[in-house]
Amino acid sequence: MSKTKDKADTMNFNIEKLNKIAKPRSVKAIERARLRKENREWLSLSQEIALAIHYYIRKAGSTQKKLAEDLNVSPAYVAKLLKGGENLTLETICKIQHVIGEEFMCKCF
């Protein structure tokens, strides 16, 4: 056998093996992917805010608990913010901007 044919046979074997063991995507996974695609813009902003919060906590030598107190929210909510998947209200964004001293959204007036 030639090297090319051996490689092709190995490829076919691997694809066949993959098709046997691969599971189809679940309905839940398909729905999560659809939601991520539909909400890409605000999810991106939420992730940027989460990174800014992480940076602030490190730079300030602060804690999630202290940030929660400063924002007047629960520590559990700060943990959610840090995951970068929260659909934040304008009020919450403004509070975060004030506490950490960074603007995420410009004033358009």
Distance CA 43, CA 35 (A): 10
Query: Which residues, 6+ apart, have CB-to-CB distance to 103 below 8 Å?
Result: 97
Instruction: Provide mean pLDDT across the span 36-47.
Output: 92
Tens digits of residue pLDDT in 64-85? 999 999 999 999 999 999 999 9
Is the pLDDT at 62 greater than 60? The verdict is yes
Q: What percent of the chain has pLDDT over 90?
A: 60
Is the pLDDT at 108 greater than 50? The verdict is no
pLDDT at 25: 80
Asked if 87 contacts 38 with a C-beta cutoff of 8 angstroms, the reply is no
Count, residues in the chain: 109
- The lowest-confidence range among 44-53, 64-73, 84-93, 99-108 is 99-108
pLDDT at 109: 43
